[in-house]
Chain A
Amino acid sequence: MTAVIQATLNGAMMGAMYGLTALGLTLIFGVMKVVNFAHGSLLMVGMFSAYWLIRLTGIHPYLALVIVPPVLFVFGYYLQDVVIKPVFKAEGQVREPLTVIIVTTGVWYVLDNLALMLFGAEYRTVRTAISNKSFALGEFIISIPKFSGFVVAVATAVGLALFMRKTKTGKALRATSLDREAANLMGINQYRIYNIAFGLGTAIAGIAGCVLIPFYYVYPSVGVVFDIRAFIIVVLGGLGSIPGALLGGLVIGLIESVFSQFMASTWTEAIIYAIFLIILFVKPSGFFGHKQDW
């Protein structure tokens, strides 16, 4: 029993990481109706940025949290503006542009392989002051970097939700996600909103990169691990839903961690896919999705 509870706790904390990754994906989908296949690669960029920042300057790992996400915001903002927008314009007002998905796949190939060219294929890790620290909760052991990651994930989700509700930009983002044409007519510049949404999604991938790096390996194709899970999570939670992403992440993290107590980890992967398909058929809109989205 102790082992199961420990696995549950670990699963929840890893799940929060998946949820954090899915948060950026769901934001971009919610606004642009595009599944960003490059999202895992953007997470990888975030992880490498944090890795090099910490290694070269020796700053405290969580100080990277104030440096990496803004840089990634700018990166994402211009990536959408230069690469994705032209294709989007060409597809015009198609509700769910499909060619754009392929462009993001192209971005994925370029980023992953640029990282491979620059840094090689080896697994890298930063030993920081907090990497091996943990605290005891009763008889269970909780690793401090994982726990901080959990806290940051929840804080990011709450922060994003507040941003979407309270600020003018947030409201413009929501308006665009609800009805592109109407938002345009209200004087919202659709493509600038897309830049912001993509920038924010990338910044969140940067946040995830910063909190992952003290306890997770980074290598050029690390994004793939998170990508597939993030896809499943956003469908589970409802494409475009912020609480859905976090809850979906927790569910997937728990399933993975608890089932791996009883069976080979490759089978847990199969179970995750099976659950995904069952949800799609039973309730395609997920926990919190809008019915019109599927």
Chain B
Amino acid sequence: MSRKQLDRTLLIAAALVAFGLPLVVTSPTYLQILILLFFYAYLTTAWNLVGGFAGVLPLGHSVFVGIGAYTSSILTLQYGVSPWIGMLVGGAIAAVIGVIIGLPTFRMRGAYFCLCTIAFAEGIRVMVENIDTLGPLKINGPRGLLVPLLKDPTFWDYQFMSKLPYYYIILVLLILVLAFTWFVSRSKIGYYLAAGGEEPEAAAALGINVANYKLFAMALSCFLTALAGTFYAQLMLYFYPKGLMGLDLSFEIAFIALIGGRGTIAGPVIGALLLRPLNEFTRIYLSDMLPGLHLVIFGLILILVMIYLPKGLTAPLAALYDRLARKITDQGAAK
């Protein structure tokens, strides 16, 4: 078996496991945990397009989740537009806002860019919290929006009686965004982005318009992030600015990417696979014992990973896989 075949077999096996998992996991609670796991992996992969490949650290992506959720929900609630269409509209709005933010900020150095994205996101959140109606649009301020539960939802309503369809929607979205990231990272754009992230001056000297590629990546990333916002709104049927657009979510996305491995394709998935269950279970079991303990543990893990594995967990895992793969494929060749 060649290395390529091995890779492909394992990928297909992983996909089969992911698609078959609901056959084993039937409890809605655990299914919900899996859905949220994929949701975070998806968000982080979308973030990774800017935060990983373009070498900057945006810390306000939750605002785009909010834009997605609000756009599709307002369109559904007030104009009867299907969330499937609202999702694309939300994505487009998020992409435009992403470019508006990116235009002036991508010229800035790391720390300024970081602070700027935080200020943008927090500023928009505070405004949404203070607006009850914006022209004809009902935003509801801090109370958030309630997506009404339908009696007989059809597929067109993006609302389902069981968790199963949500599971498959987010799984397909995740696979699509991963495939897309893989494609970008192997294209000219990906190389330009990486060059611009690591050595902006050198890349510019070679005639690469780094800022334009970064803007492109930002628009894509924001578009994809907003799609997840609609998904969240339809899954939870309720959201409010502080919970959805706050810094907590933005930071968590960045943490998952950094612990998994920024700028790698598998990083966000590995990060989410490890951190989400850890978060869920420590929160469930430890926060009763001592409030805050689970976040102390989370902070410590973050610090330790950054000290001992600054490139994240993907690098050592990839090395391990490499060694194993060589053994397996060598044996295959010897036969």
Contacts and interface: CB of A to CB of B under 8 A. Distances in A.
A102 B306 contact: yes
Contact of A277 (B57, B111, B116, B255): B116
Contacts of A103: 302-303, 306-307
Given A110-B300, A110-B303, A117 B112 contact: no
Interface string B56-91: 110000000000000000000000000000000000
Nearest to B296: A113
B158 interface: no
A264 B129 CA distance: 12
B332 interface: no
Interface string B295-323: 11011101100110010000000000000
Contacts of A133: none
Nearest to B121: A273
B130 A276 contact: no
Contacts of A110: 295-296, 299-300, 303
A83 B299 contact: no
Contact of A117 (B118, B122, B127, B292): B292
A87 interface: yes
Given A99-B306, A107-B303, A270-B123, A239 B296 contact: no
A273 B119 contact: yes
A93 interface: no
A142 B302 CA distance: 45
B295 A113 contact: yes
A204 interface: no
A87 B307 contact: yes
B104 interface: yes
A220 B291 CA distance: 12
A87 B119 contact: no
Contacts of A270: 123, 126-127, 130
A273 B123 contact: yes
Contact of B126 (A107, A235, A266): A266
Contacts of B130: 264, 266-267, 270
Contacts, number: 128
B109 A106 contact: no
B277 interface: no
Contacts of A239: 111-112
Which range contains the number of B residues in contact with the other chain? Answer: 35 or more
A220 B120 CA distance: 26
A178 interface: no
B174 interface: no
Nearest to B298: A109
22 contacts: A95-B109, A95-B110, A98-B114, A102-B258, A103-B306, A103-B307, A105-B251, A106-B300, A106-B306, A109-B299, A110-B295, A110-B299, A114-B296, A116-B292, A117-B291, A121-B291, A264-B130, A266-B129, A270-B123, A270-B130, A280-B104, A280-B119
Interface of A: 29, 33-35, 83, 86-87, 90-91, 95-99, 101-103, 105-110, 112-117, 120-121, 220, 228, 231-232, 235, 239, 264, 266-267, 269-270, 273-274, 276-277, 280-281, 284, 293-294
Given A83-B303, A87-B310, 20 more contacts: A87-B307, A98-B110, A98-B114, A99-B258, A103-B306, A107-B303, A112-B292, A113-B299, A120-B291, A121-B291, A220-B292, A264-B130, A266-B130, A270-B130, A273-B119, A280-B105, A280-B108, A280-B116, A280-B119, A294-B109
Interface of B: 56-57, 104-105, 108-112, 114-116, 118-120, 122-123, 126-127, 129-130, 251, 254-255, 258, 290-293, 295-296, 298-300, 302-303, 306-307, 310
